[in-house]
Structure 1
Amino acid sequence: MINVLLMGFPGENDKRTGGIIVDYEYEKILSGNMSCNIDVKGLDESGFSRYVYSSKKKREIVRLLKKYDVLVIDARAYTRFCTVISYIRRRSAIKIYAVVHHFYYKQIAGCMRIPICLSEMYTFKQMDGLLFAGNYSYNLAKEIRALKGLSLTYIGIGFDNSAGVVKRQPFSNHNIVFIGHIIPRKGPHYLVKALEKLKKKDGLTPTANIIGDTKVNLRYTRKLIKMIKKADLSENVKLRGRIGEEEKDEILKESGIFVFPSLCEGFGMVILEAMRYGIPAIVFNNTSMPFSVSDSKNGYVVKNKSWTGLYEKIKLIYEGDVYDNLSKGAEKTYLRAMSWDDVASNLNTWVFAVAGR
């Protein structure tokens, strides 16, 4: 029996993003494993509430960790760990792992990219291993020289696909849907530009439901609203904000195209969630996108940051005879995805390895 502390993992009511949902599912799987005792603590509760620690605070953290054999942190909390991990390593025999969704330096531009990359690699290098939810980040980690010799384990992301796909309305209304935080990295402004050209050049005005938290970056949200008004798309483009699962289900049932112009994703769970409804996706050619979307099979992959590429593929779906095959491909992709039982098997295998069984 091993004692495991999960640090920075979410609670049941905190499932706001795909990454948080995955962390919570991992937590449930580990809690059900009879080979380990699980404690879950937030950052403040576990002492990792700051970025710079006094000597007294460092000693308190080490005392807390003494009763555990393994510490698993959410990789989003690595910045809290950077200045204290070497101290823990010198004074504790605890094994340290992190759950990684994506590397944060990949979404940083400009002069901060290098220092963030260095601090991220410095922190991870001092751990015993990394657990990966997505194939893209896992494959990338194997190529990063700074992580050579570190234990890298692919766990995966699961879907409740045993019940099959969801039947929806026939593709006649050509509704478009986007799901994600309303922030620059998710790229809804590229969709607005594509829809503007679609209206001005081709006279096509599909309804586009943009679903996601509008309060994460209010400045960007206001800018997006101005773009929509300037493009004369207020009647067609709807900012839905955060909505409940039932309302999202109804919108997906009435949608035909999922446009997800994100600039960086560790996996992009929403792509597979849309494919559950047989909705093909149009995405940029970056990070994890090509792992989920096969060009011309279950959607389209266009040049990164190319809103004209989005426009061309949306128009192709409208005017071409391609939709049925794309929709069938989307359904097949969802049905072939990992289930949560598959993920549980991978995670429990890792637990047995750590426990020495």
Structure 2
Amino acid sequence: MEVKLFYMIGGKPVTGGQIYEYLFVNVLKSIPSIRVKIQTNEKWARGIRKVVAPIVNVRILNKVRNDDVVIFNSSKFIYWILVLPLIRLLGNKRVYVIHHHFMYLDCKWYEYPLNVMEKLLLRCADRLIIPSPYVKELVECLRLNNSVFYLPIPFEKKLCQKLNPQEGRLLFVGTVEKRKGLKYLIEAMTFVKNANVKCVLDVVGKVVDEIYFENMKQIVEEYKLDVTFHGFVSLEQKERLYASADIFVFPSLLEGYGMVLMEAMGYGLPIVAFNNSAMPYSVENGINGYLADNLNSKHFAEYIIRILSDRTLRAKLSKGASEIFEKAPDINSFKKLIVQEFASL
């Protein structure tokens, strides 16, 4: 069977979604009856080429003529808005779309056409590959008339033997951009400082928005906050930062899942996050962390202070985090589901 994947990762995976797709592709390649071909076309995702990409990509109709299955990623839906309906019209191929989250579900009025196009592309799929329970629930509520292949994100269940949490050390892991809400975390740090509670913050992740990053550094300098921006780090360094952290703080404004939440729980870290999108599916108030009112930096700070001020509470939340992590899907169950789905086609 010939399977072609479009706009999958072209290089080393960085984000949670990229890591998920990297694992997905490797499992597909391991199935003897499947021949996998990957087409990234990354050059069309830059600059002025974005404008003409939907038209140019119609060319791939010729490239997929011998393929039995084609797989797309919905995050690049605008590039496939013309070609995907045409592939469906051919009627002899099975179309899958990996859908991590809705980009334009709650959109401004001028983004409404993008909202419509996003749903149109999803409706063109025979099957939607859904990684998270939150997105699965949204798809079902929207009644897109798609068949859903629910493929939960897997986690490596390795034991972290050298945990050495340093009291007051906060950790954020994620790309530096507006969607990740770092501004609200830094604002929360000012409330924590004004309450005379000592803490430091490690920020780990690639800078995506340079202007946003510079603004964050200015706020840190203005209020003399103890914040270290590490940028993208090696796996070994990230593991050391997890092992030395006291609380994992995640002020993201939108997540389809938020893999780092579960990753942090693998190190027994209590979580403080905003109550939005997928966060309530991973964080339970008083069990493994707390969910602050959305966009409320002061409320976010109050939960940080509560945990830092009560080591018994911190130990309870840490235990809850570890127990929830142990129940998460592992790589073996991930592989089994993929083999069941594709080996029988």
Same fold (TM over 0.5): yes
Q: Which of 197, 204, 211 pairs up with 2:204?
A: 211
Amino acid at match of 2:278: S
How much does 1:277 deviate? 1.0
Is 2:259 aligned against 1:269?
A: yes
| Cα deviation 1:290-330 (Å, max 9, x = unaligned) | 11111110111111111111111011012223011101111
Larger mean Cα displacement after TM superposition, 86-95 or 22-31: 86-95
- Rounded to whole Å, the distance in 1 between the matches of 2:200 and 2:290 is 20
How much does 1:254 deviate? 1.2
Q: Which of 319, 340, 352 pairs up with 2:331?
A: 340
Aligned residue for 2:85? 86
Q: Is the 8 A contact 1:176 1:256 kept in 2?
A: yes
The aligned runs of 1:37-52 (5 Å cut-off) are 37-43=35-41, 50-52=52-54
Amino acid at match of 1:103: F
- Rounded to whole Å, the distance in 2 between the matches of 1:347 and 1:46 is 30
For the aligned residue pairs, the C-alpha RMSD in angstroms reads: 2.0
Aligned residue for 1:67? 66
Change (3 A) 1:91 1:352: same
Aligned residue for 2:103? 104
Aligned residue for 2:244? 254
Task: Give the secondary structure class of the aligned counterpart of 1:105.
Answer: coil
Q: Which of 186, 190, 196 pairs up with 1:196?
A: 190
Q: Is the 8 A contact 1:168 1:277 kept in 2?
A: yes
Q: Which of 148, 155, 160 pairs up with 1:159?
A: 155
The aligned runs of 1:315-354 (5 Å cut-off) are 315-320=305-310, 321-353=312-344
Task: Give the secondary structure class of the aligned counterpart of 1:104.
Answer: coil
Aligned residue for 1:281? 271
How much does 1:251 deviate? 1.4
Amino acid at match of 1:298: N
Q: Is the 8 A contact 2:31 2:343 kept in 1?
A: no
Larger mean Cα displacement after TM superposition, 343-352 or 37-46: 37-46
Amino acid at match of 1:104: M
Q: Which of 150, 156, 176 pairs up with 1:182?
A: 176
- Rounded to whole Å, the distance in 1 between the matches of 2:243 and 2:42 is 41
How much does 1:77 deviate? 2.0
| Cα deviation 1:148-207 (Å, max 9, x = unaligned) | 2x111101110110x3344411x452200001111111011111111101112x212311
How much does 1:252 deviate? 1.4
Q: Which of 112, 125, 128 pairs up with 1:127?
A: 125
**TM-score under structure 1 length normalisation:** 0.90
How much does 1:230 deviate? 1.6
- Rounded to whole Å, the distance in 2 between the matches of 1:166 and 1:350 is 36
Aligned residue for 1:314? 304
Aligned residue for 2:235? 245
Q: Is the 8 A contact 2:287 2:320 kept in 1?
A: yes
Change (3 A) 1:204 1:131: same
Task: Give the secondary structure class of the aligned counterpart of 1:153.
Answer: strand
Task: Give the secondary structure class of the aligned counterpart of 1:157.
Answer: coil
**TM-score under structure 2 length normalisation:** 0.93
- Rounded to whole Å, the distance in 2 between the matches of 1:349 and 1:16 is 28
Change (3 A) 1:151 1:16: same
Q: Is the 8 A contact 2:68 2:93 kept in 1?
A: yes
- Rounded to whole Å, the distance in 1 between the matches of 2:42 and 2:320 is 45
- Rounded to whole Å, the distance in 1 between the matches of 2:336 and 2:211 is 43
How much does 1:10 deviate? 1.5
Q: Is the 8 A contact 1:176 1:208 kept in 2?
A: yes
| Cα deviation 1:58-110 (Å, max 9, x = unaligned) | 3x42221111011011222211111222223334522111111111114x642
How many residues align? The count is 340
Amino acid at match of 2:210: L
- Rounded to whole Å, the distance in 1 between the matches of 2:25 and 2:44 is 16
How much does 1:51 deviate? 3.0
Change (3 A) 1:109 1:62: closer
Change (3 A) 1:264 1:44: closer
- Rounded to whole Å, the distance in 2 between the matches of 1:63 and 1:127 is 19
Q: Is the 8 A contact 2:61 2:83 kept in 1?
A: no
Q: Is the 8 A contact 2:4 2:70 kept in 1?
A: yes
Amino acid at match of 2:276: N
Identity %: 26
